[in-house]
Structure 1
Amino acid sequence: MNNRTSAKSKRRKRGGSQGTRKAVQREHKDRLFRLIFKDKEDLLDLYNAVNGTDYENAEDLEITTIEDVIYLSMKNDLSFMFGVVMNLYEHQSTWNENMPLRGFFYFSELYQQYLNRKNIKLTDEKKRVMVPFPKYVVFYNGTRDMPDRVEMKLSDCFIKPDREEGEPCLECKATVLNINAGRNNDMMRKCRRLSDYAYFIGQIRWKMDEGWSLEEATEISIRRCIDRGVLADILTKYGTEVCRMILTEYDEQEEREYQRAEGRAEGRAEGRAEGRAGNMFSMIQKKRAKGKSLVQIADELEEDVEVIRPLYDLVEKYPDKTAEELSELYVKQC
């Protein structure tokens, strides 16, 4: 038998079954993406690659990252001012439909801090307050097959009113850039750090596909990348920490997938409950319309009176609601 530990086997050892699932440690940790672009020179290279510019003075960047903003125990990535542009850069290894909403909250805090730093008050009604131009970029390197560039909008998250009331008064746009190997080639060529990061992550996935555990695949990829001069300075100096970061981010990804699976199971259970309740409400409405009492209805449905009573009371209290509406109300109360 091959002496390599399979990825699935390793995940079982580290994660456990759903019944005995080990909680992810809630110690706040940095992401590898933050470590790679912690220096202003590297961050400026990334900015130039994203925007197609050739700025050279890294000291023109002002780091504005909010250090105590945490998402699933991982620190948010990077925000910085460059000229009059307020940039928010996030990295995602799993597809996240809520990036515009997260960005909206993050920008709100960034603008508040900006006004405080500049000692700008909003009480002067005669002078318009000017604030930096926001740009929100998400770097995606998950396994879902996505195009090079996707724009996500906060307005897509809004519940639409019954009547058309024009455009919403709020918007936040996230530009998602696919940084997997072979995607956004022009941008990747302009930023060596970014292409090296994509290569490193690709190596880990490749070794895992061969059957190595995540930890083994990471250690092998670190050695290989150092030998090839890929992120060599980072991996040589922070090799152990990088390995720990990869394992932690993977744990967080598994945690999100586990929570989504639980949510889907709970949703299916709620759906079944709503379906049963809807049928019961429909029968109670019909029997009550014929003038039958609570006791008679319970007897005909072959249920205890105390089981039928809360449903009967809702039908009596809300005579104009449909069975579906009553079932939703009942499930929420339970």
Structure 2
Amino acid sequence: MAKEKSMRHSGKDTVFRDMFSKKKYLIQMYKALHPEDSTITKADLKIITLQSILLNGIYNDLGFMVRGKQLMILVEAQSTWSPNIVIRALIYLMSTYQDYFSENKIQLYGSKKVEMPKPELYVIYTGDQGSHPDVLSMKDEFFPHADCCIEAKVKIIYLRDSDDIISQYIGFCRVFNEQVALYGRSLRAAKETIRICRDKNLLREYLSERAKEVEGIMLTLFDQEQVWNVERENIRSEAFNEGVNRGISQGKLSMLIELVRDGSLSLPAAAKKANLDVAMFKAKMAAVL
């Protein structure tokens, strides 16, 4: 997995992917999204989450088909609000459709109109709703006063007064945040998150079945984040030092030019000190007025 993808996902987001990759939890999500559908079975669901091992490849949190080619649902878990959610959702949707057309050998360049599953886009937002909308519209968000040739709408799901699996997941995320605030990104934070959530009946079955795996997911990502932070600081330090060195070199060159101009240093000697040939040094002098 590329580093960018590992860094994008926090522990709770990866728990999301792990949990809903299992149909017994996926069907609970579908029922929370479509409580009117009383006949759905696990056999009616097919997971189509995008997977990519390529650097900067497209991959999303969750995608699944319902009843063959009837309905395509994409769901993202989001802890930080951004209007760009709708753009990412559209990218994931188009990538998923591309896979669908390829897998089903559907030709888009023929004259016959193709059949395609109806899409539904959701974001499970684990923060407070505040003034955020229930539906995020690309047109309203990015082109509110202009005619736009494309539109996408994402339904945002917030914490609600329910014990469905989506509300439980949001509750899990909030406990996770509280424990990380108390204990940092540590094994204790992972263990306390699991213990408290089981006591509160938040994802109890999943956490009881996969406690060790969830701990491992969290700790692995904690470690990856720490490594990434160290690498980021090294990059910043290297960039700073490079800038300082560049500044010193430029300052040294300016000083040598002034010494040549006031006759204190010969041109060949100055060029040698600047690690330049005489012609290049003369060109640098001409550029500095």
Q: TM-score, normalised by structure 2?
A: 0.63
1:169 lines up with 2:149 in the alignment: yes
Instruction: Choose which of 17, 20, 43 in structure 2 pairs with 1:34.
Output: 17
Deviation at 1:32, TM superposition (A): 0.8
Moved over 6 A (4+): 69-74
Deviations 1:129-182 (A, max 9, x none): 22211110000103x55358522122246568xxx8x6311111111111xxxx
Task: Specify the SS of the correspondent of 2:183.
Answer: coil
Identify the match of residue 77 of structure 2 among 91, 94, 100.
91
Q: 1:45 aligns with which of 18, 28, 31?
A: 28
Tell me the distance in 1 between the aligned counterparts of 2:198 and 2:151: 43
**Cα distance 1:172–1:198, how it changes in 2: closer, same or farther (>3 A)?**
same
Report the Cα offset of residue 78 of structure 1. Answer: 0.7
**Which of residues 63, 70, 78 in structure 2 aligns to 1:79?**
63
- Paired residues, what number? 224
> How far 1:202 sits from its partner (Å)?
2.6
Q: Secondary structure at the match of 2:210?
A: helix
- Distance, in Å, in 2 between the alignment partners of 1:156 and 1:117 is 34
Q: Which residue of 1 aligns with 2:117?
A: 132
For 2:5 and 2:77, the matched residues in 1 are separated by 19
Provide the C-alpha distance between the structure 2 equivalents of 1:90 and 1:131, rounded to a whole number of angstroms. 21
**Worse-superposed segment, 63-72 or 93-102:** 63-72
The alpha-carbon distance between structure 1 residues 113 and 43, as it changes in their structure 2 partners (threshold 3 A), is same
Please report the TM-score for the alignment, with normalisation by the length of structure 1: 0.55
1:201 aligns with 2:184: no
Q: Is the 8 A contact 1:26 1:73 kept in 2?
A: no
Gaps of 5+ in 2: 237-285
Shift of 1:229: 4.8
Give the Å deviation of 1:118.
Answer: 2.2
Residue 92 of structure 1 and its aligned partner are, at CA, apart by: 0.7
Match of 2:49 in 1: 65
Matched residue type, 2:173: I
* Most deviating of 73-82 and 51-60: 73-82
- Provide, for residues 196-231 of structure 1, a one-character-per-residue CA deviation record: whole Å limited to 9, x for no partner: 32332232334455x333422331121233455543
Distance 1:149 1:71 in 2: 33
Distance 1:243 1:75 in 2: 23
Q: Does 147-156 or 211-220 show the bigger shift? A: 147-156
Given that 1:148 and 1:184 are in contact with CA atoms closer than 8 Å, whether structure 2 keeps it comes out as no
Match of 1:31, SS? helix
Q: Is the 8 A contact 1:115 1:121 kept in 2?
A: yes
CA distance in 1: counterparts of 2:160 and 2:200, whole angstroms = 22
**CA–CA distance in 2 between the matches of 1:80 and 1:34?**
12
The answer as to 2:139 corresponding to 1:155 is yes
Deviation by residue 1:239-280 (Cα, 9 ceiling, x = unmatched): 34323434537949x97xx9xxx9xxxxxxxxxxxxxxxxxx
- Verify: 1:218 aligned to 2:190, yes or no: yes
Unaligned 5+ segments in structure 1 are 1-23, 263-304, 310-334
State the Cα deviation string for residues 39-79 of structure 1 (Å, max 9, x = none). Answer: 22321221221233234312111211111188989952111
The verdict on how the C-alpha distance between 1:240 and 1:27 changes in structure 2, with shifts beyond 3 A counting, is: farther
SS at match of 1:123: coil
RMSD: 3.8
Match of 1:115 in 2: 101
Partner of 1:282: none
Identical pairs, percent:
26
2-structure distance, mates of 1:71, 1:177:
30
Whichever residue aligns with residue 175 of structure 1, its letter is: K
Separation in structure 1 between the aligned mates of residue 150 and residue 58 of structure 2, nearest angstrom = 27
